Amino acid sequence: MHPVPLQVKRKKKKFSAESSRVITKFYLSGGEERTRHIIARVLGLSEEEVRENLQQVMADFSTRHKEIRQVFNQSFTKIKEYIPKSLNLSEERRYLLGTFFTKEYSVQAAAFFNPSIIMHPDQSHLDGKSLRFILSFRSVGEGHISSIEFRSGVFDAKNDIHFDPVSRFVGTPELIKNPIYDKYVFRLKLADMDAMNTVSEDILEDLGPEFSFVELQAAIRQKTDTWYEEPAVLLHDTAEKMRWLARSNYQLRFRKDRRISERVIFPVSENESRGIEDARFVRFCDTNDEITYYATYTAYNGFDILPMLLETKDFVNFAIRTLNGKAVQNKGMALFPRRINDRYMMISRQDGENMFIMSSDNIHFWQEAQILQEPQYPWEFIQIGNCGSPLETEAGWILLTHGVGAMRRYCIGASLLDLRDPTRIIGRLAEPLLSPTAEEREGYVPNVLYTCGAIIHNNELIIPYSMSDTSSGLAVVSVKDLLARMLAD
C-alpha cells in the first residue's frame, strides 16, 4: 500500500432520480373488444360533455408536456381503425378519444445512474480552456425499464462545473418509419444470423445498394407470394428473420428546438422492450477527421441481451444498429475513440469474469477476442470489466475498470494500455481509484460504484459515477498523478 493515496476529489453535485420526469406513451388497457367499449363510451358523449372533459384533461396535463394535443392526436390515429369511417368526428372528440389511449410514464421513477460523458459537438463561444460536455444517464422507471437521458454543461478553466438549466419537460423522438439500409451490411448481418440462403439472396437481388423498409417489405411479399420451389417453413423463417433484422436497425429524430435535457431515448424494438442498458458514449474521430458519436449499449427483452450500437453526429438524429459476429456477446463493450493500425478496437466482456479486447475492419462485425486483463487483486477477484471507452494520453490509453470483490462490492480501478498496441498493459492500479463511501454504499444495489465513461480536461480526469444504482456524482483526479501511480504499482 502506498503511504500517500491518490488525491481523488469528489464534487458536491449529485444527480438523483426525479419521479416528475414523465413522458407520454400510447396506452391500451385491453384487447380489441375493450378498446371498442371505450370508444363507444366516448362517442356517446354530447359535444358539450366532450368539451368539458377535454378541458379538464388539458388543465391537468397541458403544463406537464409540450404540444399535448399533438400527443392525443397521435394516440387517436392508432385506434381510429376501430371507428366507422362514416362518422364525422369533431377535432375535440378526436383529442378526447386520444386521452383515453395515452398514459404518463416516469422515466426516473426507480433510478438515475451509470453515467457517461463526452465532448459536446458544439464548442462555440467558449474560451480555449473551457469545454462544453454532454452527460448521458441510464434512467429506470416503472417495470424496471431503462432508457437514456442527457444533461449538458461547461467545465471552465479551473474545471469548475456549470450545468445548463434542466427543462421540466421530457419527450421521446420521432421513429423514422421508413429507414434506409445498406445492402452490403444487411447481407453480412444475415450471413452472421445463418439466414443467407436462396430465398434471402433472391429477395436482396431485387433491391438496390440502399433500400428502405417499405422496399424490403415489397420484395419479401413479391418473392414469398410467387415462390413454390422452396419449403414453406424456409420461406416463412427467412422472411421473418429479414423483417426482424430490419426492425432491430432503426432511426430516431428529435426536434431541433428541444433542449438536450428534454430528450430521452426510450426502447423501441422488441429486442430492447425491457430496457436500454449502460450506454458507453465515445467521440470517435475517423481517419478523415470526421467526428461521429457512438454508444455501445445492451438491449434487453426480459429474457435475452443483445449488444447494440447507437450512432449520431448531432444528438438530434440517431441511428440504432445491431452489433454482429461471434465475439459479440455478453455486456460491457466500449469502443476506442479512433482506429489503431487502421482497425476499430473495442474492450469487451466475453465470460463475465475477465476483460477482453477485440479488433475489426468493420465497426458492425466482431469475430475475434483475446483476454486483456484477468482479476489479480482481492477487490476484483470475482470479476473485472471496463468502465467506458479508453482515454488517450501521450503515455498510453487510460482504461477505467470495475472490479467486484468480497460481498459483491464494486470499485473503480484503472489500467494503462500501450498507445500503439493496446493489447499490452503497461500500467495498472493495485488498489481501487474509487470505492464506495459510507454515504455511497446505500441504494437499490448496495456497495456499487460504476461509470460508463470519463473525460480528460485541463490535465484532470473527470469521472461521473453512479452510487449503488440509485444516484450519480462526479470525481476528479490529476492525470499526471494517476499515470505516475499506475506505472509505479
Task: Report the CATH number that the domain containing residue 154 is assigned in CATH.
Answer: 2.115.10.20
What average pLDDT score do residues 457-477 get?
A: 96
pLDDT of 3 strictly over 70: no
Residue pair 26/78 in contact by the 8 Å Cβ criterion: yes
- Distance between CA 308 and CA 276 in Å, rounded? 9
151 and 196, same domain (yes or no): no
Residue pair 96/51 in contact by the 8 Å Cβ criterion: no
Residue 411 lies in a domain: yes
102 and 113, same domain (yes or no): no
414 and 475, same domain (yes or no): yes
Residue 371's pLDDT is 97
- Distance between CA 477 and CA 458 in Å, rounded? 11
Residue 371 lies in a domain: yes
Residue 292's pLDDT is 98
- Interval 270-299: pLDDT, tens: 889 889 999 999 999 998 999 999 999 999
290 CB-contact burial (10 Å; exposed 0-12 / middle 13-18 / buried 19+)? exposed
269 and 367, same domain (yes or no): yes
- Distance between CA 121 and CA 153 in Å, rounded? 12
pLDDT of 482 strictly over 90: yes
Residue 335: enclosing H or E segment and its boundaries? strand 334-335
- In the listed set 221, 248, 275, which residue is the last one of a domain according to the structure? 248
- In the listed set 231, 248, 265, which residue is the last one of a domain according to the structure? 248
pLDDT of 225 strictly over 90: no
pLDDT of 231 strictly over 80: no
- Distance between CA 181 and CA 321 in Å, rounded? 10
Phi, then psi, of 443 in degrees rounded to 5: 165, -165
Residue 134's pLDDT is 98
* Virtual torsion, Cα 383, 384, 389, 395, nearest 10 deg: 180
Which three cell numbers mark 306? 443483445
Residue 42: enclosing H or E segment and its boundaries? helix 32-43
Residue 4 lies in a domain: no
- Interval 165-192: pLDDT, tens: 999 999 999 999 788 999 999 999 999 8
Helix (H, G, I), strand (E, B) or coil at 429: coil
pLDDT of 1 strictly over 60: no
Residue 3 lies in a domain: no
Residue 230 lies in a domain: yes
- Any residues with CB less than 8 A from the CB of 279 and at least 6 apart, and which? 116, 136, 138, 148, 295, 296, 297, 310, 452
189 and 331, same domain (yes or no): no
365 and 473, same domain (yes or no): yes
C-alpha closest to that of 315 among 138, 185, 128, 152:
152
223 and 339, same domain (yes or no): no
Residue 402's pLDDT is 97
- Any residues with CB less than 8 A from the CB of 340 and at least 6 apart, and which? 359, 420, 422
- Interval 301-311: pLDDT, tens: 888 888 999 99
Residue 2's pLDDT is 61
193 and 338, same domain (yes or no): no
Q: Count of CB atoms within 10 A of residue 346's CB? A: 26
Phi, then psi, of 164 in degrees rounded to 5: -70, 150
Tell me the pLDDT of the chain averaged across its residues: 94
Q: How confident is the model at residue 227 (pLDDT cuts 50, 70, 90)?
A: low
Mark out the alpha helices in 144-289 (DSSP H runs). 183-192, 198-205, 213-226, 232-248
- In the listed set 71, 88, 106, which residue is the last one of a domain according to the structure? 106
CA distances from 309 to 73, 176, 282, 319, 370 (A): 32, 17, 11, 8, 21
Residue pair 98/75 in contact by the 8 Å Cβ criterion: yes
C-alpha closest to that of 43 among 100, 127, 122, 126:
100
Q: Whole domain around residue 124: which residue ranges?
A: 9-18+107-174+250-488
Residue 211's pLDDT is 95
121 and 197, same domain (yes or no): no
Residue 260's pLDDT is 97
pLDDT of 229 strictly over 70: no
Residue 2 lies in a domain: no
Residue 305's pLDDT is 85
Residue 228's pLDDT is 57
152 and 234, same domain (yes or no): no
Residue 385 lies in a domain: yes
C-alpha closest to that of 101 among 72, 134, 62, 121:
72
Domains of the chain: total: 3
CA 203 from centroid of its chain's CA atoms? 32
Residue 169's pLDDT is 95
45 and 170, same domain (yes or no): no
Give the lowest-confidence range in 253-257, 327-331, 425-429.
327-331
Residue 80 lies in a domain: yes
55 and 122, same domain (yes or no): no
